[in-house]
Amino acid sequence: MKSVRTRLTYANVMSSIAVFLVLGGVAFAASQLPKNSVGTKQLKNKAVTAKKIKNNAVTAAKIKNGAVTNGKLAEGAVTGNKIAAGTIGRANLAEGKLLPRAYALVGFDGKVESGFTEGIPNATTPSTGTYCFDLAFSPVHAQATGEADSENNDVPSVSLAGTEVGLTNCPAGTDVEVGMWDTGLDEETTEEFFLVVW
């Protein structure tokens, strides 16, 4: 105990007090930094981690356009519940052209079945077995399939305006022409069919 007291000189005590004051002042100063005084230059690389970011602190408005790319997204990070309804359309999908734009179940009289139809209006039927469709877009491909029945002899054919074959029985302005043929009777027929348009 005496050895400790002999070393407690005025200089030792004052220097120890000075060290505590300096360290305390640095800690206090760090907690009193003015707003926006710490920028990217003052932050070490990887100083800000996911654990240090408050939930919902980073919003879309705080992310620069093009800043987040495929290489920066973790596997499975973007899920269906994280995408706002209506934000992704055909134009955003690389395989968008592979998705049908319209479809319909067409009755023998050219009227479409509402429960099985999207984007295709009723057809006009200028002659037996001919169905003409005016669409709200320019199709690039179409496919028709005869509705299954016990005879299996009704075969549809499809033509698009602007193609090499073109339209043969529908008036100008028609986008899609479907012809129904009865292979048993070897003549045009009126039968139901499914139509899909891209």
Q: Is the dihedral of CA 167, 169, 175, 177 positive or negative?
A: negative
CB proximity list for 134: less than 8 A, separation 6 or greater: 121, 124, 173, 174, 175
Q: And the tokens for 169? A: 């029985």
The pTM of the whole model exceeds 0.75: no
Residue type, 144: A
- In tens digits, the chain (198 residues) has pLDDT values of 555 555 666 666 666 665 555 555 555 555 667 777 777 777 788 878 878 788 887 877 778 887 777 677 777 777 878 788 877 776 666 666 678 999 999 999 999 999 999 999 999 999 999 999 999 999 999 999 998 776 778 899 999 998 887 898 999 999 999 999 999 889 999 999 999 999
Tokens of 10: 């005025």
Per-residue pLDDT, 47: 78
Q: Between vectors from CA 132 to CA 130 and to CA 136, what angle results, nearest 5°?
A: 165
